[in-house]
Structure 1
Amino acid sequence: MKQYRFGLQLMIIFLLILSGPTEFSFAKGQQKGAIQLPSSVVNIAKENTVPNEMEDLIYLKPSNFTKELFKSSNEAIDNPNLIRILNESSINKSPLSIGMRATIYMGEWPLNYKSAETIPNWQYQKINTNVYDNTAGKINHQINYVQQVQKRVKGGLTGRVPHSEDVQKMMLIKAMEKTNLPVATETVIGAGTKHSQIYNVHPKRVGYLHAYVPALIEKGEVTYGEVYLVIRGTQRKIAVKNVTSQKIGAWLPIQDHLSFSFTAN
């Protein structure tokens, strides 16, 4: 795929000239607390013995040239990688281009993703259990969470779709915008990670403190289309043909967050 895109750029280089510096921003939540965290879910980013790397969700703002092209498109284009290619290029409006006519095929792309629902699963995957047997005890015994072994929890798409990496990135960006939660394709909880919350195990009881990594199930629809760059004299536009859509879902773990469940039998 990389070779194909590189060849594509070479093919249209005679029309394209590098533009100025490219603008970019990070995906940001638009409404904090769109999904309310229950009291059982805590942020352990400071305590985690293995720092998690944030997903590479830098996505480009369309340049003026790209915005001009988008106005002519019959489909919305949100794919960061496609925006990047368009941002890196410009076409001069010179008198010599008046008679120019060209239609350049840029390939089939996932154009946009529309979210249908975003549902939390606070107990997506159990990663740890701390146990204390107080059946012979006469007073309460206090326990707290201590991660025994390092755990890596992965998410990902629930089905196969073309250009899965592009689709997954668009779904991550959309989920972050909706929830303002640090979702990712995976999260790591390091051995020795602790939390100060205390749980009491009464006499004649066995206490079990379970820790889970929470996640979101993101469901929606991705739209695909064949993208063409059309040049008619000084006019430049994007044409999208053979548009299709496909429903897709993804599990997105919430980084550096844990959900606790305590029982005493």
Structure 2
Amino acid sequence: MKKSLLVSLVFLLSFSFSSAVLAEGKQKPKIPSSVMEISKENTYPNPTQDLPYLQPSELTRSLIDTSDVPIENPDLIRILNESTISDAPLALGYRATVFLGEWALNYESTETATNWEYQKINTNFQDNRGGKLPVQVHYKQEGQKIVKGGLTAKVPEAEHVKKMMLLKAMKKTNLPLSFETIIGAGTKKDQVYNIPPKKLGYLYAYAPAVNEKGKVTYGEVYLVLKGNKKSIVVKNITSQGIGAWIPLQDHASFGFVTSDRPR
């Protein structure tokens, strides 16, 4: 009986762990074969999007832990990291409340999806209607293209919200994301596409992007000092739904079509 119970328990734990791994894996989209990286070929060198999670200092961590609302805003954490509060040996009875402002405190992601054809950036065309043999076409960017993402609605502290959404989306997808990416004129790929005789060939290039959706929480932040005790108090808490489009940097999705007639 005990052995049977133990086996059942191990099975349940294994199933739970596998389910968690699968659930985590679903968050990371598989890149289709039609999507290619063009960072080496791109004639416009995009700056690397580097937004590492800012590690709170020991003081900042102790303050954040006292808050009833999670604090993830990198800019607020940076301000707390740069602050110093000395312990006073004779601070008995000392009280102070410092208003640090109204902040976007955290972002909770509810949905992350990828549109591999977010925006068309280029078309390469070849006419083989008069030919007797197949001809080839390959990708060559005809003109510089700027692809911009952004928030889907106006919200307070928009730049802070964008940073938190970008950090969350990059962590969930493990993709190089940026709210702006540029594809330089003359960027090309060696991959060739064959156009049969008596056909027109169209090679379309698209910039992919991630659609991030979730909820941002705001609040008024106060630093409260009582003697040698320090804490963060958040008042007037509000939440708001928000979405964003975040382009995939230095990647292009290709679609090849042949036709009897001009498209």
Instruction: Report if the CA contact (8 A) 1:31-1:178 is conserved.
Output: no
TM-score by length of 1: 0.87
Instruction: Report if the CA contact (8 A) 1:183-1:254 is conserved.
Output: yes
Cα distance in 1 between the residues matched to 2:25 and 2:40: 24
Cα distance in 1 between the residues matched to 2:43 and 2:25: 30
- Give the AA of the match of 2:209: A
1:262 match = 256
1:38 aligns to 2:32 (yes or no): yes
Which shows bigger deviation, 32-41 or 43-52?
A: 32-41
- The secondary structure found in structure 2 opposite 1:78 is coil
1:20 match = none
Alpha carbons of structure 1 residues 32 and 55: separation in structure 2 relative to 1, 3 Å:
farther
Runs (5+) with no aligned partner, structure 2: 1-23
Deviation, 1:123, is 0.5
1:183 aligns to 2:177 (yes or no): yes
Deviation, 1:31, is 7.0
Deviation, 1:89, is 1.0
Cα distance in 1 between the residues matched to 2:27 and 2:90: 55
1:170 aligns to 2:164 (yes or no): yes
Cα distance in 2 between the residues matched to 1:160 and 1:53: 26
Per-residue Cα deviation, 1:186-238 (whole angstroms, up to 9, x for no partner):
11000000011110000000000000000011000000011000000010000
1:97 match = 91
- The secondary structure found in structure 2 opposite 1:149 is coil
Match of 1:215 among 209, 228, 243: 209
- Give the AA of the match of 1:121: N
2:113 match = 119
- The secondary structure found in structure 1 opposite 2:139 is coil
Instruction: Report if the CA contact (8 A) 2:35-2:116 is conserved.
Output: yes
2:76 match = 82
Per-residue Cα deviation, 1:76-122 (whole angstroms, up to 9, x for no partner):
00000000000001211121322210011111100000001011111
Deviation, 1:179, is 0.5
TM-score by length of 2: 0.87
- The secondary structure found in structure 2 opposite 1:144 is strand
Cα distance in 2 between the residues matched to 1:108 and 1:68: 20
Match of 1:106 among 62, 83, 100: 100
1:192 aligns to 2:186 (yes or no): yes
Per-residue Cα deviation, 1:46-98 (whole angstroms, up to 9, x for no partner):
00000111335244200000010011100000000000000001211121322
Runs (5+) with no aligned partner, structure 1: 1-29
- State the number of aligned residues: 236
